[in-house]
Amino acid sequence: MSCVPLCSRRHFARLLAVPLLLLVVLQRAPVAAAGETPPNIVVVLCDDLGYGDLGCYGNDELHTPHVDRFAREGLKLTSCYAAHPNCSPSRTGLMTGRTPYRVGVHDWIPFLSPVHVRASEITVATLLQQAGYETCHVGKWHLNGWFNLPGQPQPDDHGFDHWFATQNNALPNHRNPYNFVRNDIPVGPLEGYAAHLVVDEAEWWLTEGRSGERPFFLFVCFHEPHEPIATDEKYAKQYPSDDPSYAAHHGNITQMDAAFGRLMQTLDEQGLRENTLVFFTSDNGPAITSIHPHGSSGPLRHKKGHMYEGGIRVPGIIRWPGHTRPGSVSDEPVSGVDLLPTLCEVAGTDPPQDRALDGASFLPVLAGKPVERTQPLYWHFNFASSEPKVAIREGDWKLLAMLDDPGKRQGGANITADQMRALKTAEPVRFELYNLKDDIGETTDLSTSRPERLEAMKQKLLAIYHDVREESPTWPEWKFPRYEGQRIEWPAYRKRR
């Protein structure tokens, strides 16, 4: 697949018809038997939803009745992990089945950044499309910098027949966003709130946009509860408080929950429930910022941006009638990188054979069995917010590693030569070891009391780390655009054709 497909592929006329207007604003084993139709697949990804941000995960303040009911109808995962502790890399791992540092997505991607999921990568959407699925992406994209511009793959280049997306955040916030693009064409100002607008598009596609003759893959990416938050008063008022940010944040999650409930209702109304696998999860832990310090990691240590559990362990719920038992719970570790091999098995197609995959099918978990892995789960983030920058989990054990010279993170996810050098030269130097079964909060480092376990896991971590480091591409130096000292986001105006 070329980075810039031929103009004849689609809508050449748009290149002449769309005004060249650039707006600048301040940012605030096959499952289906032979002859049977494979199941439909819906993946729902929240943005910055923490492990403790749902009623079904123990939060007694938040109202999330639709997700809670969904958990009662399916399988709740208590050791579900994102592929990375922040957004773009996590989504990269989920889409490719490869730890994001292999792919070259090392941090969140600002608009106009050279970083992107390259055309040489094969996404789960592409594989399902090739297997005969109709495919649709709605919501946050965040897998490239040149969103809807020439020179980098866009959602349709990575396997989506229909897409309705933003590069990163809904702008100016969740209320009345104006930066959505539908199949190359900017939509313009919309009325409503992002979660419901995203579900509006998903509902249209489910009921009118697709042919209905083939199984489908629908990827729903909510913006909630990522900042800049905007919450409908009918949700915010459910959380009376002297702190407006409390009502805004919690109401924002309830707003997402209501939109999710609408989506599940549409599946039911279309008679799709029984033959549809739905996976609900989040891209990383809660942000817990100075503006909205109300997200929850539950019993876990730290938050988004950290290699500790609070940064990477997230909600995960699967409903697939006939395959998941209602109200069941599993503590088997499952990660975003497992999605591609899992959905390939569900669809009866093969995952890529010509590259390293870091995930494994989690279908055995649906039958109460462990995932069959060839290597431990792995995470890597040179710019993690606390000392550990690399981690693996094997069984109940987790090993974290510091790096001798991880490079310095620059504001706005700038790319510097020093960072690219560190990416290829940094070495793990100190380690922490935890037994997560006994110590979910990672309070007691066992690296000195369990030297044999430490050494065995250290060798596995080093082997994966060096393999990933060798494959990881580097990017040219790049500086995040600035305007009067403020960070800016550039809504996409025009695609490349």
| Alpha carbon 74 to chain centroid, angstroms | 21
355 Cβ partners below 8 Å, 6+ apart?
98, 122
Identify whether the C-beta of residue 304 lies closer than 8 Å to the C-beta of residue 46: no
Check: CB of residue 291 under 8 Å from CB of residue 243: no
- Structural tokens at position 391: 């981690």
Q: What's the DSSP call for residue 37?
A: P
Provide the β-strand partners of residue 44. Answer: 220, 280
Distance CA 490, CA 109 (A): 13
Q: Is the dihedral of CA 287, 256, 276, 215 positive or negative?
A: negative
> What DSSP string describes 415-441?
B-HHHHHHHHH--EEEEEEEETTT-TT
DSSP output for 78-131: EEEE-SSSSHHHHHHHHHHSS-HHHHT--S---TT-S-B--TTS--HHHHHHHT
Cα 338 from Cα 341, distance rounded (Å): 6
DSSP secondary structure letters along 384-395: -SSS--EEEEET
Q: Is 87 a catalytic residue?
A: yes
d(CA 391, CA 379): 5
Of 106, 116, 137, 142, the active-site residue reads: 142
Is there a contact between 337 and 358 (Cβ–Cβ < 8 Å)?
A: yes
Residue 55, classed as helix, strand or coil, is helix
My answer on whether omega of the bond before 370 falls inside 30° of 0, hence cis, is: no
Quickly count: other Cβ atoms within 10 Å of residue 120's Cβ.
Answer: 11
Active-site entry in 46, 80, 84, 87: 87
Query: CA Rg, the chain, in Å?
Result: 21
Residues with active-site annotation: 87, 142
